[in-house]
Amino acid sequence: MGKAKSGKRATLASLGEQLGLSRQTISNVLNNPGVVSEETRSRVLAAIEASGYRPSAAARALRTKRSMMLALRLYPSGDGIEGALMDRFTHAVTEAAQAQGYRIALFCADDMGSEADTLVELHEEAQIDAAIISDTYPHDPRPGALWEAGLPFSAFGRQWERPDAPHSWVDVDGRAGVRAAVDHLVSAGHRRIGYLGPRVGGASEDRRLGCQEALAACVPPVIGDEELTSVDTPKAGAAAASILQERGATAVVCGSDAMAMGALSVFGHRDGHAPIVGFDDTPVARAMGLSSVAQPVEEAARLAVELALAAVAGEPSRRLLIQPELVVRRLEAFAR
Amino acid sequence: MGKAKSGKRATLASLGEQLGLSRQTISNVLNNPGVVSEETRSRVLAAIEASGYRPSAAARALRTKRSMMLALRLYPSGDGIEGALMDRFTHAVTEAAQAQGYRIALFCADDMGSEADTLVELHEEAQIDAAIISDTYPHDPRPGALWEAGLPFSAFGRQWERPDAPHSWVDVDGRAGVRAAVDHLVSAGHRRIGYLGPRVGGASEDRRLGCQEALAACVPPVIGDEELTSVDTPKAGAAAASILQERGATAVVCGSDAMAMGALSVFGHRDGHAPIVGFDDTPVARAMGLSSVAQPVEEAARLAVELALAAVAGEPSRRLLIQPELVVRRLEAFAR
DNA sequence: CCGCAGAGTTTGATCGATCAAATGCTGATC
DNA sequence: GATCAGCATTTGATCGATCAAACTCTGCGG
């Protein structure tokens, strides 16, 4: 390590003076090593090491007009069951950004409109180079607002009402995930399968369609009991699951783990296997031995960062659909 | 709203020229309104509004040597059961910082040592004004390293081996929380109460002591069955809880919700009440109808921000211990 | 009529880096 | 020996804000 020495911060100029060189040469050693002679370079590097010099982020940002920061909104963590998903995303985004030399600036907002406003403001203040938004829904105001403002960004979540929107996004093919869930239950012997999903959002509609498709494609034919949408809570899930059970369903595919939890309490486990499949593979599902469709959140985050940086670089936008994976689980011994 | 106009960003200088004033006057309107005449001020404000001017964060940071950023490490989210706690903290810190005009810069680190290194680096690059560290443990290397480096910071978690450490911290009085948990079980009629906690960390030792104290203070006397420490998982919790049960315990206080989950699977609910109390009041506890000691994480976060900013301002450090709250819960109907 | 206080405004310097272009130098070329 | 290429390094300007000090008025007391 190097460090200490005097009380003053080292700067390019101070290093240059100390070595009898100019600031620019020091700068070149760091940013453009090729143009500096072998000998000076090593001399400068030693001095840098010894002085503990670090380039000033502010000065660099001012000159280059790159803050090397991406903005990410932190959502009010819901009552927690689904919350973990976005936290995983946040984490993975941070990691992916860091790998590219970028940092994440967090902020809070009360609603989608003020999220977009804050992002535009951050961009105008040159605090951030780009933004990543997530959890898009039909007629989401954010993509349009950000695009208008000329802010480079990417979205985790497609633009539901307009799949050919001009901006970049990554999304998970929830429909395919639900199809896999249905196939799983069918091959486990179930012949009457219901679907249960949250009431709102493009994603849940997509998942519902996945269920229909899968049931329609079954040979021998499988009966799809009526689909129910409801509020996204265990309680509502339990209530709706009871209805499906009365109608003869023996298994249920759910659009969320929270509702799956409720459905699980109605249907229960049989031989350690639950006739329920949840969505998002949250910690609660893991703890309860519940099968669930897992979104590759980490991959999505990596791609979201990649797309955002591509947008900064002015590259054309891209739209990516990635595949989820069904995690089949049985009840762990401890949870009896 | 104002905006658009030309393609160029407005600056203090451009606004000044446009209005026939100097940059400094524009600056004063924003930062020192008192010295500007009433008339000029309103004229300038109108122009600012119309141009959509935003001060450049980089330029300001360069001059003032204040980035208005605080750093926070994002921990690798464990398997999720306890994870939510730190996420709540992150969220609350962001909100509290934002209320003071600060933003949070996130980063990842592999271990505590590299966390400290990264923080010092960020500080030397002038990317951040201060840092907030959390989840301290005995002989934590971070406080010392940051203090040495002259980085203003605060910690969520006391310095266990040295309560009079020179830096600021906030912590939750876990011992008192566990005492409340024991009292709760005693008043519910239990006479043989065991304690079950994770194996490591100053906090869990503190909680264990709280249990001893509470049992010792009981009249009529209550028998404290042997305490067990174990790995912090539901599985290990279940195993350890079985041992306590064999030894005659009818109730268990746990140092974490993960272990409490395991204990719950062994003891089960009786009339909707569980003879188990967990710690941290995580979503899983909520979902399972488990009583738990809740840490006032939001308050801690607010205080941590306050302490960090006080450190930036050069104010003397403070050490704060705040009180947790026992959340008594019964099994919700849906979870049967 | 001069000096002076004070409000309102401007000027110059600075923060620390990077870009773009200029300079000094060595050695090869004709 | 003058010219020129090309490397290594330096100089000047710039990014956009803020600090500190200087300046210009106007009005007032002596």
pLDDT tens by residue, B205-253: 899 999 999 999 887 888 887 788 888 888 899 999 999 999 989 999 9
Query: Hey, is the C-beta of A80 within 8 angstroms of any chain B C-beta?
Result: yes
* Nucleic strand C under 7 Å from the C-beta of A63: yes
Q: How far is CA A288 from CA A269, A274, B5, B46, in A?
A: 10, 10, 58, 60
Nucleotides in chain C with any atom closer than 7 Å to protein CB = 7-12, 14-21
CATH, range B69-171+298-322:
3.40.50.2300
Q: Which nucleotides of D are covered by protein (CB under 7 A)?
A: 7-12, 14-21
Query: DSSP strand E in A33-102: where?
Result: 69-73
Cα Dmax for chain B: 87
**Strand C contacted by B42 CB (< 7 A):** no
Residue B135, number of CB atoms within 10 A of its CB: 17
Instruction: Tell me how close the Cα of B259 comes to any Cα of chain A, in angstroms.
Output: 11
From chain A residues 173-192, the ones with a CB under 8 A of any chain B CB are: none
Q: List chain B residues with CB under 8 Å of A81.
A: 283, 287
pLDDT at A223: 83
Q: For the residues of B290-329, what is the DSSP string, one character each?
A: -EEEEP-HHHHHHHHHHHHHHHHTTPPP-EEEE--EEE--
Average pLDDT over residues B167-172: 97
Q: What is the pLDDT of residue B87?
A: 83
**pLDDT per position as a tens digit, A59-118:** 999 999 999 999 999 987 665 556 678 888 999 999 999 999 999 999 999 999 999 999
A308 CA → D18 C1’, Å: 33
pLDDT 10s digits, B48-105: 999 999 999 999 999 999 999 999 999 876 655 566 788 889 999 999 999 999 999 9
Average pLDDT over residues A203-211: 91
DSSP assigned state of B335:
G
Residue–nucleotide distance: A147 CA to C11 C1' (Å): 41
Most confident of B1-5, B167-171, B199-203: B167-171
What is the pLDDT at residue B118?
Answer: 97
Give the whole-angstrom CA distance, residue A175 versus residue A169. Answer: 17
| Most confident by average pLDDT, A237-246, B100-109, B192-201, B278-287 | B100-109
CATH architecture of the domain with range B174-295+327-335: 3-Layer(aba) Sandwich (3.40)
Strand partners, B107: B73
In Å, what is the separation between the CA of A17 and the C1' of C22? 21
pLDDT in tens, B22-38: 999 999 999 999 999 99
Q: Rounded to an integer, what distance in angstroms lies between the CA atom of residue B194 and that of residue B180?
A: 14
Distance (Å, whole) CA B317 – CA B306: 11
B99 in reach of chain A (CB within 8 A): no
Dihedral sign, Cα of residue A270, residue A237, residue A110, residue B56 = positive
Q: How far is CA B267 from the centre of its chain?
A: 32
Q: What confidence tens digit (pLDDT) does each residue in B296-331 have?
A: 999 999 999 999 999 999 999 999 999 999 999 886
- Give the model's pLDDT for residue B79: 56
Cα separation of A43 and A45, whole Å?
6
pLDDT-based confidence at A286, cuts 50/70/90?
Answer: confident
State the residue for tokens 């409720």.
A262
> What residue ranges of chain A are covered by domains with CATH 1.10.260.40?
9-48
Q: How far is CA A70 from each of CA A157, A264, A309, rounded to the nearest angstrom?
A: 18, 40, 9
- Residue ranges matching CATH 1.10.260.40 in chain B: 12-55
Give CA separation, A74 vs A114, B88, B133, B300, in Å.
13, 10, 19, 18
- Shortest Cα distance from A264 to chain B (angstroms)? 8
Rounded to an integer, what distance in angstroms lies between the CA atom of residue A87 and that of residue A84? Answer: 5
Strand, helix or coil at A204?
Answer: helix
Residues of chain B within CATH 3.40.50.2300 domain(s) are 69-171+298-322, 174-295+327-335
- Interchain CB contact of A51 with B (< 8 Å): no
Compute the average pLDDT of residues A221-236: 84
Second-level CATH architecture of A9-48:
Orthogonal Bundle (1.10)
Q: Is the CB of A3 under 7 A from strand C?
A: no
B15 CA: nearest nucleotide by C1':
D16
Nucleotide nearest to A38 (CA to C1'): D8
Q: Is the pLDDT of residue A122 over 90?
A: yes
Predicted confidence at residue B41, as pLDDT, reads 94
Q: How confident is the model at residue B4 (pLDDT cuts 50, 70, 90)?
A: very low
Residue of higher predicted confidence among B2 and A294: A294
CA–C1' span, B62 to D13, in Å?
A: 18
Chain pair A-B, CB pairs under 8 angstroms? 167
Comma-separated ranges of CATH 3.40.50.2300 domains in chain A: 69-171+299-321, 174-295+327-335
Spell out the residues 6+ positions from residue A187 whose beta carbon is closer than 8 angstroms to its own.
none
Give the pLDDT confidence score for residue B5 in this predicted structure: 45
pLDDT of residue A145: 97
**C-beta atoms surrounding B272 within 10 Å:** 12
Q: Which of residues 294-323 of B touch A (CB under 8 A)?
A: none
Q: Tell me whether residues B105 and A108 touch, CB distance under 8 A.
A: no
B90 close contact with A: CB closer than 8 A: yes
Nearest by CB to B62, from A59, A72, A234: name it: A59
- In whole numbers, what is the pLDDT of chain B averaged over residues? 90
Residue A58 token pair: 């502010």
Q: Are B192 and B222 in contact (CB under 8 A)?
A: yes
CB < 8 Å from A in window 232-251 of B: 234-235, 237-239
pLDDT band at A1 (very low <50, low <70, confident <90, very high): very low
Nearest to B123 by CA among B97, B154, B149: B149
Q: Is the four-CA dihedral A24, A28, A34, A37 of positive or negative sign? A: positive
Whole-number distance in Å between A24 CA and D10 C1': 8
What sign has the CA pseudo-torsion B135, A284, B278, B241?
Answer: negative
Give A126-168 pLDDT, tens digit per residue: 999 999 999 999 999 999 999 999 999 999 999 999 988 999 9
pLDDT of residue B2: 43
What residue in A sits closest to B242 (Cα-Cα)? Answer: A334
Region B129-153 average pLDDT: 96
CB contact under 8 A, B334 and A262: yes
Give the nucleotide at minimum CA-to-C1' distance from A53.
C16
Q: Does domain B12-55 have CATH number 1.10.760.10?
A: no
Asked if A283 lies within 8 A of B287 by C-beta distance, the reply is no
The CATH superfamily assigned to A69-171+299-321 is Response regulator (3.40.50.2300)
Yes or no, beta carbons of A107 and B94 under 8 Å apart? yes
* pLDDT, position B7: 63
* Distance of residue A191 Cα from the nearest chain B Cα, in angstroms: 25
At B332 the three-state DSSP class reads coil
Q: How far is the CA of A22 from the C1' of C28 (A)?
A: 29
Contacts of A256 (CB under 8 A, 6+ apart): A82, A197, A198, A204, A232, A237, A278, A279, A280
User: Which of A56, A103, A335 minimises the CB distance to B62?
Assistant: A56
